[in-house]
């Protein structure tokens, strides 16, 4: 296990280097700049601002300087919030995004796994066809369409909840549903396929032939192996939840990191965009590592593959 963890940690380093390098040059080579939209700014003032932030230097020099700061954990100052650093903005906004992500993940787990189990146990019945039809619909419906639909029905028409804000627990309902329904649909289909594969194994038929109750077969024999594909999906699911919150935070006006990221992209706030991308990249790599360790703990043979 120690060798497995060391190898995975060593794999993370080049991945982060590639992400940082590609993100840096992609952002810098895009048209415009962080101060190109400023109105009636004198050229001398613009030159002083660019000199202050080092934007007047050649691109390779800027890259080397940025990577040097990055090695020290310094993500740099924000160009649109001159009194704040990117580290401070992320520390302020990410807890909101993390809470939203946890709510969305909770919705996905609460609905996805039970629906998949029921569908697998009642295969080729209405209890299988109807939930899987809704799951397919949920996978095809993007959050920027689902969110306004939920706002129209539950906020504007019925008036049960607010359509925007992040003040009380009712403000979490619609964003969590918008963020979690797609993940729930994927989990339901993955759970169903995993359980169907395990329930068709010989040892399951042997247990049934011996008269073991069905609930014991599911809980003791099938569930552990049947949910292995679900655990392997948790890393990508967390990635979808975190990155999907960008759109959801804009739709519901939630003061999370996603709004800062989208606004930074529109405003060419280089350091904020790069800092957000790298921050999420580190999180996603850590999440994938955690679930890989869980999978290896369940099936030790995986560490040799």
Per-residue pLDDT, 300: 62
The CA distance from 174 to 161, in Å, is: 8
Per-residue pLDDT, 39: 60
Per-residue pLDDT, 175: 92
CA distance readout (Å), 138 to 153, 154, 233, 234, 241: 17, 18, 17, 18, 14
Domains and CATH numbers, the chain: 93-252 (1.10.3720.10)
CA–chain centroid gap for 143, Å, is 13
**How many residues are given for the chain?**
305
Q: Which two tokens stand for residue 37?
A: 């939209």
List of residues 6+ apart from 227 with CB closer than 8 A: 113, 191, 194
Q: What are phi and psi of 181, to 5 degrees?
A: -65, -40
- 16, 279 in Cβ contact below 8 A? no
Per-residue pLDDT, 21: 92
Could you read off the pLDDT of 178-214 as tens digits, one per residue?
A: 988 988 888 888 888 888 888 888 888 888 888 888 8
- 184, 108 in Cβ contact below 8 A? yes
Burial 238-254 (b: 16+ CB within 10 A, else e): bbbbbebbbbbbbbbeb
Per-residue pLDDT, 301: 61
DSSP 85: B
DSSP 32: S
CA–chain centroid gap for 115, Å, is 22
pLDDT in tens, the chain (305 residues): 677 777 877 888 888 899 999 988 988 887 777 776 656 667 777 777 778 777 788 888 889 998 998 888 888 888 888 788 899 999 988 899 888 988 998 998 899 889 988 898 888 888 888 988 888 888 888 888 888 999 999 988 888 988 888 888 888 999 999 988 988 888 888 888 888 888 888 888 888 888 888 878 888 778 777 777 777 777 777 777 777 678 888 889 888 888 888 888 888 888 888 998 898 888 888 887 887 777 777 666 655 45
Burial 202-216 (b: 16+ CB within 10 A, else e): eebeebeeeeeeeee
């Amino acid at each position: 296990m120690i060798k497995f963890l060391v190898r995975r940690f060593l794999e993370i380093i080049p991945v982060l280097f590639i992400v940082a390098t590609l993100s840096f040059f992609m952002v810098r080579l895009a048209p415009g700049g962080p101060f190109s939209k400023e109105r009636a700014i004198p050229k001398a003032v613009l030159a002083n601002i660019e000199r202050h932030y080092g934007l007047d230097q050649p691109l390779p020099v800027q890259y080397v300087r940025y990577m040097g700061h990055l090695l020290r954990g310094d993500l740099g100052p924000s160009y649109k919030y001159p009194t704040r650093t990117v580290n401070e903005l992320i520390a302020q906004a990410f807890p909101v995004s993390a809470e939203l992500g946890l709510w969305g993940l909770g919705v996905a787990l609460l609905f996805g796994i039970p629906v998949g189990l029921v569908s697998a146990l009642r295969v080729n019945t209405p209890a299988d066809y109807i939930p899987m039809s809704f799951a397919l619909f949920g996978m095809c419906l993007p959050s920027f369409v689902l969110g306004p639909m939920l706002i129209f029905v539950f906020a504007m028409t019925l008036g049960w909840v607010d359509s925007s804000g992040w003040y009380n627990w009712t403000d979490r309902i619609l964003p969590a549903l918008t963020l979690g329904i797609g993940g729930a649909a994927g989990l339901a289909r993955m759970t169903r396929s995993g359980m169907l594969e395990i329930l068709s194994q010989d040892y399951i038929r042997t247990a049934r032939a011996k008269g073991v109750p069905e609930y014991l077969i599911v809980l003791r024999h099938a569930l552990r192996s049947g949910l292995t594909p679900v655990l392997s999906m948790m890393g990508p699911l967390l990635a979808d939840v975190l990155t999907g919150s960008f759109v959801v935070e804009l739709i519901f006006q939630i003061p999370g990191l996603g709004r800062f990221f989208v606004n930074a992209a529109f405003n060419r706030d280089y350091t904020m965009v790069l800092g957000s991308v790298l921050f999420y990249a580190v999180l996603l790599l850590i999440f994938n590592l955690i679930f890989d360790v869980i999978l290896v703990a369940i099936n030790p043979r995986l560490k040799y593959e």
